[in-house]
């Protein structure tokens, strides 16, 4: 996870200008984010390249010395055939039989290489710590533990721990301390190999074995630190065995990772094999199987350091691959989120649009529908302003702007380019234009403005468009035009459908002559009010009103005068009723009024006031003549024994007939008995 301490992966804009504007395409950055690590690695390799020749040159200078002298740094290791036994160090060489001068030269040569290896390991340790601090990836903890174990083991084996402040106490354990560090190194090898291979799914049995293995070397290190007399030989063999088993397990785990096609597993496998070979050569040299001279004395130390360096590079590649995958996943998630947001906003817009238009009063549907369109387009398409311009739609002109302060600018734009806009609207193809707008800066140049023209699918002769303005060099992408066009089409069709539905609803629910509900609608309303009255045990009054002498009016003054009489009565009923009830036309000259929560006495007072209001009005029948309109009213209320609304209607009709028989112009009601609820004070 090394890439996290460097620049966060970005998205590069690939802008290609098309005929309709500029298109932006986002691609994940593939640039390496591990340059500091590679720089440190190259610096380490450079240090090795400079130090190793110097050491080799020093070896060449003393090539004439006797074997016992030239290899004095490893003379005492033959006492133990274990690869992890401490190499002859400064303290051991001082006890050898070689001359002091030769010993000092050999010690100086060994110290040059040791210092180089220590420097490389410290740098890798610091880099690993920085990677973990930045990324919080557990693999870097494993890596830091491995590098620290290698560093401590080499310091102990070369008898350099005594020169480090705070670690002098550890050198007092002598060879047993080195065995303890070797055991800890064996545990670190397995831990780092297990973390790299990640075999939880591929080889769960081997993964569990690797997980439990560090317990053994840990106990072995503890046994070494107990410093029991006579245990050095046994602990030496046990430590060497633990080390070889650990490297073997690391090789097996890395081989499994390679078989699973894990990237960069092959370089790591080769490095573990080199470490195993170098350790084996060191063991054979200590055992006298081969002659140990020159580079063989330090081959295992160099391979440990090189292995740590390659492992750091492999982890860097691991991180780059992971980051690229995360970039792709992040980009895919962003695209999915954008699509989800678009779909959510589209569904929300359609639902809100239909709800708004369904409940909107006549004349406000166009304004509300296109206002919703501006709101959702502003959310989904970046812009500086937008507007909807509609011409000859339902015999109206409409211009909506967002924000409203841009209205004057859009009016000027429509005036100067009305021909082009009308042609685009007729073509039903979304386009974008470049126009010069007044500058907003202190310079003399005008701002460049891109205007997206989205036609609205309106029936001729109406035409209109959605205008979206964006300032600057960047135009609209095809995807943005498609989104705006889709929303504009839905809004325009919803507005037209709402207007048509309103006309159909008026024709289906209202009487064309008097503009009150027709009989079918009133039957439905009456059934609904009756059911509600039953449930809540509330009052319900039904009234029938009839224009007096309508037949004679038609015969004497014509049907136009009769129609005026009907309209006058309907208008009076609606005005007098307000929101307290519902009015509808029941027959040619008969109207029905539903008064919820009115008891019989309240209904009678309401009818008397309405009749008096009608009596005070006159209609003009032509030739300078006027006609007074009379009205007869019959009232019925819901009784407790009424099972449905039909008995109420029959009683109201009988009351109306009684009013006509009594001389017309009166209000009649059945005797008030068996009323279903207590009269409510109004």
**CATH code, domain carrying 265:** 1.20.1070
Range of the domain at 603: 519-668
Q: Identify whether 1 is part of a domain.
A: no
* Strand pairing report for 396-402 and 385-393: antiparallel
Q: Which pLDDT score, from 0 to 100, does residue 302 have?
A: 87
Q: Which pLDDT score, from 0 to 100, does residue 652 have?
A: 92
> Does pLDDT of 584 surpass 50?
yes
Are 422 and 523 found together in one domain? no
Name the residue among 100, 78, 75, 101 with its Cα closest to residue 88: 75
- Per the listing, tokens 């047993």 go with 176
Structure pTM? Answer: 0.44
Name the residue among 165, 154, 73 with its Cα closest to residue 117: 154
Look up the CATH number of the domain holding residue 496: 3.30.450.40
Query: What is the rounded distance in angstroms from the CA atom of residue 580 to the CA atom of residue 600?
Result: 15
Are 266 and 355 found together in one domain? no
pLDDT digits (tens, 9 = 90+) for 233-244: 888 888 888 888
Domain boundary among 509, 542, 572: 509
Contact partners, residue 287, CB within 8 Å, separation at least 6: 78, 81
Q: Per-residue DSSP letters for 566-627?
A: HHHHHHHHHHHHTTS-EEEE-SSSEEEEEEET--HHHHHHHHHHHHHHHHT-EEEEETTEEE
pLDDT digits (tens, 9 = 90+) for 15-67: 333 333 333 333 333 334 444 444 444 444 444 444 444 444 444 444 443 33
Rg (alpha carbons) of the chain, rounded to whole number: 49
Are 323 and 380 found together in one domain? no
Number of domains the chain is built from? 3
Are 260 and 116 found together in one domain? yes
| Residue 177 token pair | 């301390």
| Residue 160 token pair | 């350099």
Are 366 and 268 found together in one domain? no
Per-residue confidence band for 105, with pLDDT thresholds at 50, 70 and 90: low
Residue 434, beta-bridge partner list = 450
Domain boundary among 509, 527, 561: 509
Among 5-14, 150-159, 255-264, 622-631, which stretch is predicted with the lowest mean pLDDT?
5-14
In order of 4, 150, 156, 163, 213, the CA distances from 160 in angstroms are: 35, 13, 6, 6, 29
| Residue predicted with more confidence, 396 or 322 | 396
Q: Per-residue DSSP letters for 619-670?
A: EEEETTEEEE--EEEEEEE-BTT--SSHHHHHHHHHHHHHHHHTTSS-EE--
Assign residue 159 a region: left if phi > 0, alpha if psi is -120 to 50, beta otherwise?
left
Burial of 362 (0-12, 13-18, 19+ CB in 10 A): exposed
Q: Which pLDDT score, from 0 to 100, does residue 97 have?
A: 44
Domain boundary among 481, 509, 537: 509
Q: Identify whether 680 is part of a domain.
A: no
Are 99 and 246 found together in one domain? yes
The answer to whether residues 478 and 18 touch, using CB atoms and an 8 Å cutoff, is: yes
Write phi, then psi, for 214 (nearest 5 degrees). Answer: -60, -15
Query: What is the rounded distance in angstroms from the CA atom of residue 112 to the CA atom of residue 116?
Result: 6
Q: Count the residues in the chain.
A: 682
Per-residue confidence band for 398, with pLDDT thresholds at 50, 70 and 90: confident
Per-residue confidence band for 646, with pLDDT thresholds at 50, 70 and 90: very high
Are 175 and 145 found together in one domain? yes
* Mean pLDDT score across all residues of the chain: 76
> Does pLDDT of 559 surpass 70?
yes
Are 319 and 370 found together in one domain? no
Are 244 and 321 found together in one domain? yes
Are 135 and 111 found together in one domain? yes
- Tell me the average pLDDT across 517-537: 91
Q: Which pLDDT score, from 0 to 100, does residue 592 have?
A: 94
Are 115 and 140 found together in one domain? yes
Q: Which pLDDT score, from 0 to 100, does residue 528 have?
A: 92
């Amino acid at each position: 996870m090394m890439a996290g301490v460097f620049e966060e992966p970005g998205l590069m804009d690939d802008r290609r200008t098309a005929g309709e504007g500029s298109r932006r395409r986002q691609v994940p950055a593939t640039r390496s984010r591990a340059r500091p690590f590679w720089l440190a690695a190259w610096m380490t390799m450079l240090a090795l390249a400079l130090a190793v020749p110097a050491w080799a040159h020093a070896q060449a200078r003393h090539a004439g010395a006797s074997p016992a002298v030239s290899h004095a740094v490893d003379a005492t290791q033959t006492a133990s055939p274990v690869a992890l036994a401490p190499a002859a160090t400064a303290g051991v060489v001082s006890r050898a039989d070689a001359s002091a001068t030769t010993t000092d030269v050999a010690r100086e040569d060994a110290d040059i290489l040791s210092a180089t290896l220590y420097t490389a390991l410290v740098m890798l340790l610091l880099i690993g710590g920085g990677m973990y601090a930045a990324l919080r990836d557990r693999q870097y903890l494993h890596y830091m533990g491995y590098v620290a174990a290698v560093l401590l083991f080499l310091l102990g084996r070369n008898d350099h721990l005594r020169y480090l402040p705070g670690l002098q106490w550890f050198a007092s354990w002598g060879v047993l301390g080195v065995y303890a560090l070797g055991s800890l190194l064996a545990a670190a090898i397995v831990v780092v190999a297990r973390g790299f291979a990640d075999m939880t799914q591929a080889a769960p049995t081997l993964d569990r074995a690797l997980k439990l293995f560090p317990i053994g070397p840990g106990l072995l290190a503890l046994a070494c630190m107990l410093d029991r007399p006579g245990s050095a030989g046994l602990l030496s063999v046990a430590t060497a065995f633990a080390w070889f088993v650990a490297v073997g397990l690391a090789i097996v785990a890395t081989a499994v990772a390679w078989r699973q096609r894990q990237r960069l597993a092959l370089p790591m496998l080769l490095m573990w094999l080199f470490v195993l070979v170098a350790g084996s050569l060191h063991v054979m040299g200590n055992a006298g199987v081969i002659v140990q001279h020159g580079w063989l004395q330090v081959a295992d130390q160099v391979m440990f350091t090189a292995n740590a360096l390659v492992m750091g590079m492999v982890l860097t590649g691991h991180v780059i691959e992971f980051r690229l995958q995360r970039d792709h996943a992040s980009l895919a998630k962003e695209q999915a989120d954008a699509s989800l947001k678009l779909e959510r906003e589209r569904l929300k817009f359609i639902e809100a649009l239909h709800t708004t238009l369904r409940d909107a009063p006549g004349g406000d549907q166009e304004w509300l529908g296109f206002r919703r369109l501006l709101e959702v387009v502003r959310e989904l398409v970046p812009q500086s302003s937008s507007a909807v311009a509609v011409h000859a739609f339902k015999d109206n002109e409409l211009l909506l702007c967002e924000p409203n302060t841009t209205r004057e600018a859009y009016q000027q734009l429509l005036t100067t380019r009305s021909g082009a806009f009308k042609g685009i609207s007729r073509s039903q193809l979304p386009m974008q234009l470049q126009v010069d707008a007044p500058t907003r800066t202190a310079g003399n140049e005008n701002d460049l403005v891109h205007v997206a023209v989205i036609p609205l699918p309106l029936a001729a002769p109406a035409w209109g468009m959605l205008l979206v303005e964006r300032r600057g060099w960047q135009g609209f992408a095809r995807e943005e035009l498609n989104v705006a066009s889709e929303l504009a089409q839905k809004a325009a069709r919803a507005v037209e459908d709402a207007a048509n539905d309103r006309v159909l609803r008026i024709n289906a629910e209202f009487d064309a002559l008097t503009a009150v509900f027709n009989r079918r609608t009133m039957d439905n309303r009456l059934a609904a009010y009756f059911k509600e009255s039953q449930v809540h045990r509330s009052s319900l009054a039904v009234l029938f009103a009839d224009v007096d002498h309508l037949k004679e009016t038609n015969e004497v003054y014509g049907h136009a005068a009769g129609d005026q009489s009907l309209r006058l009565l309907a208008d009076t009923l609606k005005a007098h009723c307000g929101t307290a009830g519902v009015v509808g036309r029941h027959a040619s000259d008969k109207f029905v009024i539903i008064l919820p929560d009115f008891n019989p006495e309240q209904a009678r007072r309401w009818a008397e006031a309405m009749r008096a209001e009608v009596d005070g009005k006159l209609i003009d029948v032509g030739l300078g003549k006027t006609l007074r309109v009379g009205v007869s009213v019959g009232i019925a209320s819901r009784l407790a024994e009424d099972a449905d609304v039909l008995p109420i209607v029959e009683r109201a009709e009988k009351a109306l007939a009684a009013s006509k028989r009594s001389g017309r112009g009166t209000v009649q009601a059945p005797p008030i008995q068996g009323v279903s609820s207590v009269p409510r004070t109004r």
